[in-house]
A and B are shown apart, each in its own frame.
Chain A
Amino acid sequence: MSNEQIKNLEEIFEARIARDEKIEPKDWMPEKYRKTHIRQMSQHAHSEIVGMLPEGNWITRAPSLRRKAALLAKVQDEAGHGLYIYSACETLGISRDELYEQLHSGKAKYSSIFNYPTVTWADMGAIGWLVDGAAIINQVPLCNTSFGPYARAMVRVCKEESFHQRQGFEIMLKLCNGTPEQKEMAQDALNRWWWPSLMMLGPTDAESIHTEQSMKWKLKRKSNDELRQQFIDQTVPQADILGLTIPDLDLKFNEKTGSYDFGEIDWDEFWQVVKGHGPSNKKRMKDRVGAWERGAWVRDAAMAYAEKQEDKKELKKVS
């Protein structure tokens, strides 16, 4: 194809997205669109998969059967969400094996929030309330993104995500209405998860290199800073209901804007964690790669069994 032909196709393509038409896997698309989507969707799927690890940590130690069933269901949902998005990503011509390889080798990123440790039961509450809360704010606009398979996967994800946040808030509420020690535990979890949750919504607009292109392709509807403000504005009143204090001395309602002003985010910490120097980066990757490697014989055995069954069927046909 000549450069002019490609330019022509690109114009038709951008016009389709501007008209809110969906792009499906076999449609012509610019190489950059394909690559950007593989990058973002795989990061998203990896985050769901790695996101199971900090919570899996507490399944065997949940304080009651009710909490255990809920946590188990939540972690299973996360596996499901990872699988929806991986298969949507594979429609762009990349294999599951390549995607896993990128995660395991560290070539692909996942959400930096999962590189923090979950040291008390209250962390299960804080993660559901704050981390899933921030995730929902990020994900709802993606239900309308331009790439059909991603949008469809996100509709299912968003439907399921609301239970995650509510069960987290309920854990916090129970602790806050409990003994002083339990309430202190909830406050401690909020102290540790608040700032990483704000960072989770991504670097400030000035630092965000992909924003403009992503807005055009509807991979993004609002900028990181707008999403962060929305998250803070809706979360502060929830903390009030819990009777907890948000660990930010500069947090103050601004009558003029109708929003909360907030203190400086420690972006050095964010970039350190993204670059692999967070408290749990190494552990997460070790656990993930270990699980994959230890499961290899199961995958091989299942395949060997399937092949054997297939051979038997063939033999029956012949005789």
Chain B
Amino acid sequence: MIQDFLVLCLESYSVAVLIQTHIHMSKNWPLWEIFVRSKNGLEHRHFGSLHAADAEMALENARDVYTRRSEGVSIWVVESKNITASNPEHNGELFEPAQDKVYRHPTFYDLPDDVKHM
């Protein structure tokens, strides 16, 4: 009996959380990451982020927030939730293997000084 009651409580709690999350989601504008190309020939660079209802509005807001003084010629917007980032805690496994591979660098190879153009 008590168990049934507890299960019921738990279920209604999860429903409440679901509803709340949904209200929360539908009310708040999602977060977007903004990338700007300063001029042709350069890559798009991460400039920051902002909130907007959709991609089109994110572009317009990015124009106003990040390029008020001609800082860009092209803007990319990506909804932040679509970015997968590496975890700095795993930096060891991820990046250390490159550290002991000095033979990937030209200075690893011993050549006589009189060899030119190499």
A residues apposed to B, CB below 8 Å: 24, 26-28, 73, 76-77, 80, 83-84, 87-88, 90, 95-97, 152-153, 160, 299-300, 302-303, 305-307, 309-310
Q: Dominant SS at the A interface? A: helix
Say yes or no: B50 contacts A87, CB within 8 Å.
yes
Known A80-B68, A84-B48, A153-B48: A28·B89 in contact at CB below 8 Å: yes
Interface 1/0 per residue, B8-50 and A, CB below 8 Å: 0000000000000000001111010000000000000000111
Chain A residues with CB under 8 Å of B88's CB are 24, 26-28
Interface size classification for chain B? 20 to 34
A73, A77, A302, most chain B CB atoms within 10 A: A302
Contact partner, B68, options A76, A88, A307, Cβ 8 Å: A76
Known: A28-B89, A80-B64, A80-B68. Contact between A303 and B29, CB under 8 A?
yes
CA distance A300 to B25 in the complex (A): 11
Residue of A80, A302, A303, A307 contacting most chain B CB atoms (<10 Å)? A303
Contacts of B50 in A (CB 8 A): 83, 87
B53-68: CB near A (< 8 Å → 1, else 0) gives 1100100000011101
How many angstroms from the CA of A299 to the CA of B52 in the assembled complex?
9
Decide if A80 touches B53 in the complex (CB within 8 Å): no
Task: List B contacts of A307 (CB < 8 A).
Answer: 26
| Bound CA–CA A263/B20 (angstroms) | 56
Given contacts A26-B88, A76-B68, is CB(A306)–CB(B54) below 8 Å?
Answer: yes
Whole-angstrom distance between the Cβ of A243 and the nearest chain B Cβ? 33
Nearest-Cβ distance from residue A149 to partner chain B, whole angstroms: 8
Q: What are 10 A-to-B residue pairs whose CB atoms are below 8 Å? A: A26-B87, A27-B88, A77-B68, A80-B66, A84-B48, A152-B48, A160-B69, A306-B53, A306-B54, A306-B57
